Structure 1
């Protein structure tokens, strides 16, 4: 049986869900809903087709009337990809599903999302396609969620095939989650990558493969961050170990930017169906914190559609300044973050630490490049989060790069990364950076006035020590950058590492 969704006013309803505008199409019904019995293993299939015009709402819902006695629901879809002129976006259609509990913002009925990574999915009590949550297929109105990410000028023609399989539902296994601590070294520097994707969203690696790569990269901790789904949470327990802490989270992928929920409680789902103009982000930032997580805007100046961060930074616990291979948008993010440091000094308010992550999806994306190196009291979820939140961290391109960054006053006062050296404005201050693993890199000391000291290139051995003297009256903070050789001219080379600041003086920032 086929059904067309042509988009006439009698077949759909446009409404606002408290977030982005959404479109609900006509219901898809099955014969058993009218009372016809089914034998174990019997199947019914419906196919629906339709067209979405340019300017479609962010989310289009296809209601599916699921009768009693269904063991499994399977959905497959296709859509056309017509040629478009250069500089014009083509068609891209995401997909997911909500169960009989509904599509209300907050995700009570959420059962999975694969974005554009898969052309079909299934779910039943004992198993589901990666990205989706296993569980019973209960009677009621389910909704296939379509996300027209971009629509070509010609429109987007789609076809959805829904197959129900009848029978006994089976049992849903109780999820097992990774522990919240690993065997640490007490108060020490721990290396981690907090933005990674497996095959539970649009990555191509299994959790086990990611764990192996993380260990090879010298990491002590990682964070699960699948796009718009928490379905991976129950699949990391076997990856974690005494030598690797696995935290759980999500990359909340909205149409106005992405945010990493870092280290949330197991099973936490964070909705993504809103834009900056909907004034809903604060609600979900608070949800992340209530679930024990950190709010980390990701790649804020990335150029992909929907990636640029437009929610402001008032809710941020940290900012992912460096994402994957160092590129011009990371340079812009670094400069923007530095301007925020200046504003925090000027206004006497809290500052937002920076961090970096690989955002690795598939081979050859390297896990742990870059990585955030955190001074924490132990290798536990809470201790790592506290170190990140306090800014006791630096970002390095690999485990080969090690930094020690300190500031000291004339009477033995000293402070490290993320701390404040509380001395009088005219007190001489010595800033000292010790480096290993960075051959021929240049050290730059950056303050609220800009770059005030640049070293000669480090030797081929990659090790060296650079000192600089200043006063709090001259520099409200100092942070260090380690740069590779520049390709040409005055443009600085790519980062090899950078630190969060050390603040100077008796201020309150």
Structure 2
């Protein structure tokens, strides 16, 4: 078989088919371009994901991963010098490639599909990876504002990385996390698009059939395995791999209503929970209840927020995670998130300062800190809020809300250490949640 040959593969998925199918494509030596076009029966109830692996393999952790676009594209091209966003440029290695098909949903009558594959001539030089720097110019130890859930054209978003970086800078953010669905392709080019003073944390969103997980702080070419379900028992190993590299595994939008998006893995193996995803709604209220239930049960998983922006109509940084970090670097920001030294806010206009102390002269502890005190110690909690003039401020402990007040300003409350467990703040306004802090823990 010579170059510029077209191959066709056809098939049909029926209801109950496995989540993933791998269509073999034998590539001879001398091929410089691989082009794949996918057509399928788009009747109501049918949806098909698309990706590809090279001869290095498609097993768990897929050493041969060369790209993924899910349902966002029906075609892609890979060559040494370029690739469709979501896919990785590089040599077209001779051997057996596999086009990965994921029947996301299958109608009762089935899902028929056709692949047309072109093996073409071509040459080129593979571009060197250009990841974002692991640190940016910051303010030393300080509060830093960022968006931990973003998408570009490298998965199913409409912005380019350059457009997203510009929007983040305009929103006054210090950092964003790059979380494309199941592909690290954006992380290999972010260094060409970031701005002075803007940190880009490399990550992916592992889009499983039983929920989505943000993998934050991955190596630039790394990705988190997504081809598993809760019953497979693979999540502990996947999450451990993320942590071993210094990253965080975050349960994303655990109660959102899109098919396959709600979180079914439990929370033992994740490091944090995305309690607030995009505009505040009922799914976020449900996530808040779940998270507070974990806190009451003694399971400490910090809350985070992200816009999940896909389009310019979804503002980046709304909501945002505000983190106390020693510097503006990936490792320092993730350390602050891991420790719960953060709060969530609807915009950069909102600021929250929550402190808990054992006496007026004692050291003030903020979110993520632990106070260990005798049970009868009187504890003072204080929260100062700015930017929510018509809001309601509430202080919560393990027994629920303890005090409520309206408007900007300062709210204080006193209680016995034995009665608290933790103290956290919620600030609400007419649009829903305005801000939410992680807890200060009180052990008595």
RMSD of the TM alignment (CA)?
1.3
Residue aligning to 1:28: none
2:63 to 87, 108, 114: 108
Q: Would you say 1:124 and 2:79 are equivalent positions?
A: yes
Residue aligning to 2:236: 282
Residue aligning to 1:197: 151
| Structure 1 residues 223-253: Cα deviation after superposition (integer angstroms, max 9, x where no partner) | 1111001111121102334310111011011
- Alpha-carbon distance, 1:144 to partner: 0.6
Q: For residues 490-509 of structure 1, what are the structure 2 equivalents within 5 Å?
A: 494-506=432-444
Structure 1 residues not aligned, in runs of 5+: 1-31, 33-37, 84-89, 345-349, 486-492
| Structure 1 residues 392-430: Cα deviation after superposition (integer angstroms, max 9, x where no partner) | 000000000011111122252221111123332222222
- Alpha-carbon distance, 1:158 to partner: 1.2
Q: For residues 17-416 of structure 1, what are the structure 2 equivalents within 5 Å?
A: 32=1, 38=2, 42-83=3-44, 90-167=45-122, 169-344=123-298, 351-410=300-359, 412-413=361-362, 414-416=364-366
Secondary structure at the residue paired with 1:415? coil
TM-score (norm 1): 0.85
Residue aligning to 1:448: 398
Residue aligning to 2:379: 429
The answer (yes or no) to whether the contact 2:165–2:195 under 8 Å persists in 1 is no
Secondary structure at the residue paired with 1:385? helix
Q: Would you say 1:476 and 2:414 are equivalent positions?
A: no
CA separation in 1, counterparts of 2:331 and 2:11? 48
Mean Cα deviation higher: 219-228 or 267-276: 267-276
CA separation in 2, counterparts of 1:186 and 1:333? 33
Structure 2 residues not aligned, in runs of 5+: none
CA separation in 2, counterparts of 1:439 and 1:149? 45
CA separation in 1, counterparts of 2:141 and 2:383? 20
The answer (yes or no) to whether the contact 1:82–1:154 under 8 Å persists in 2 is no
- The list of structure 1 runs, each at least 4 consecutive aligned residues, that deviate by more than 4 angstroms after superposition, is none
The answer (yes or no) to whether the contact 2:162–2:194 under 8 Å persists in 1 is no
CA separation in 1, counterparts of 2:206 and 2:152? 15
TM-score (norm 2): 0.97
CA separation in 2, counterparts of 1:170 and 1:208? 24
Mean Cα deviation higher: 232-241 or 106-115: 232-241
- Alpha-carbon distance, 1:292 to partner: 2.1
The answer (yes or no) to whether the contact 2:130–2:192 under 8 Å persists in 1 is no
- Alpha-carbon distance, 1:196 to partner: 0.4
Mean Cα deviation higher: 322-331 or 231-240: 231-240
Whose radius of gyration is greater, 1 or 2? Answer: 1
Secondary structure at the residue paired with 2:418? coil
Secondary structure at the residue paired with 2:163? helix
Number of corresponding residues? 443
CA separation in 2, counterparts of 1:352 and 1:309? 15
The answer (yes or no) to whether the contact 1:107–1:269 under 8 Å persists in 2 is no
Mean Cα deviation higher: 231-240 or 139-148: 231-240
| Structure 1 residues 146-180: Cα deviation after superposition (integer angstroms, max 9, x where no partner) | 0000001111121211111124x322122121111
Residue aligning to 1:420: 370
Secondary structure at the residue paired with 1:339? helix
Secondary structure at the residue paired with 1:410? coil
CA separation in 2, counterparts of 1:241 and 1:205? 16
